[in-house]
Amino acid sequence: MDKIKISAVAYTNTKAFIYGIENSGIQEQIDLSLDIPSDCAAKVIDGTVDVGLIPVAAIPHVPHATIISDYCIGSVGAVNSVFIFSKVPASQIRTLKLDSHSRTSNNLARVLLKFYFKLDITYTTDPDAETDAIVLIGDRTFGKKADYNFAYDMGEEWMKFTGLPFVYAAWVANKPIPEAFLTEFNAALKLGLDNRKELLKTLPHNPDFDVEDYLMNKLDFELTEKKREALSLFLSYITQL
């Protein structure tokens, strides 16, 4: 059988999944690349890979998209790595710079600012633009909260808005994948989650960021019914932007 080509997120949030893949037999059946989330999405959309841990906002753009795992990158409330960092309180934000790595959180920011904070915002993707606030995700946010006047954790704001958890990224295939592989793949992901304490011993210590709290508590990796409900609601809000 040809190897299954997989693109996964190159951030700390995915380390447990990678640990599981690398410490199970399945690694030999996989051709794995680690990419920023927007590239994971692009590779699944254009067929460069068969499966990706992709930003959920990209799912409607994937031909024949199927979520192939009950594991995801999610949170129940605050996630501590998906922020709107701002010079001004949310109610005063007029201009927002989006994060080129992101697909989900850029859209989540737009959904929250329009439907929750009820603001009319000008958005830019120009990295040199001066704006009231920015979207920033992933490891680049670690220890950065203190650098800004206001830090809005979007997992927390979404929970206040909807009462629901959130799913940022899911394992999505663009073609049928053999059932036997999927069973083994999901077992590998579970192995990684079950061994997060072991994984933590191998990760660098960051005095400004509690990576144990992040991997054990803030991130929530089960794609539950509530998260699926949140996903449908989020995708329907995106169509109304």
Ligand X SMILES: C=C(O[C@@H]1C=C(C(=O)O)C=C[C@H]1O)C(=O)O
- Establish how many alpha carbons lie within 13 A of residue 213's alpha carbon, considering only the half-sphere containing its beta carbon: 10
215 belongs to the binding site for ligand X (CB under 6 A):
no
Is 71 among the residues that bind ligand X (CB under 6 A)?
no
Which residue's CB is nearer to ligand X, number 50 or number 153? 153
Judged by CB under 6 A, does residue 102 bind ligand X?
yes
With beta carbons less than 8 A apart as the criterion, state whether 144 and 94 touch: no
Among 15, 43, 97, 103, binds ligand X (CB under 6 A): 103
104 binds ligand X (CB under 6 A): yes
> What mask, x for binding ligand X by CB under 6 A, covers residues 170 to 209?
----------------------------------------
DSSP letter string, the chain: -PPEEEEEE-SGGGHHHHHHHHTSGGGGGEEEEEE-HHHHHHHHHHTSSSEEEEEGGGGGGSTT-EEEEEEEEEESS--SSEEEEESS-GGG--EEEPPTT-SHHHHHHHHIIIIIS----EEE--TT---SEEEEEGGGGTT-GGGSSEEEEHHHHHHHHHS--EEEEEEEESS---HHHHHHHHHHHHHHHHTHHHHHHHSPPBTTB-HHHIIIIIEEEE--HHHHHHHHHHHHHHHT-
Site for ligand X in 136-165 (CB under 6 A): 137-138
Could you say whether residue 81 binds ligand X (CB under 6 A)?
yes
18 near ligand X, judged by CB under 6 A: no
Query: Minimum distance from CB of 161 to ligand X (Å)?
Result: 17
- Is there a contact between 112 and 158 (Cβ–Cβ < 8 Å)? yes
Please list every residue from 26 through 45 that binds ligand X, using CB under 6 A.
37
CB of 79 to ligand X, least distance (A): 5
Supply the minimum distance, in Å, between the C-beta of residue 81 and ligand X. Answer: 3
Stretch that binds ligand X, among 75-83, 109-117, 118-126, 209-217 (CB under 6 A): 75-83
Nearest distance, CB of residue 38 and ligand X, angstroms: 7
Asked if residue 7 binds ligand X (CB under 6 A), the reply is no
**Site residues, ligand X (CB under 6 A):** 9, 11, 13, 37, 55, 73, 79, 81-82, 102-105, 137-138, 168-169
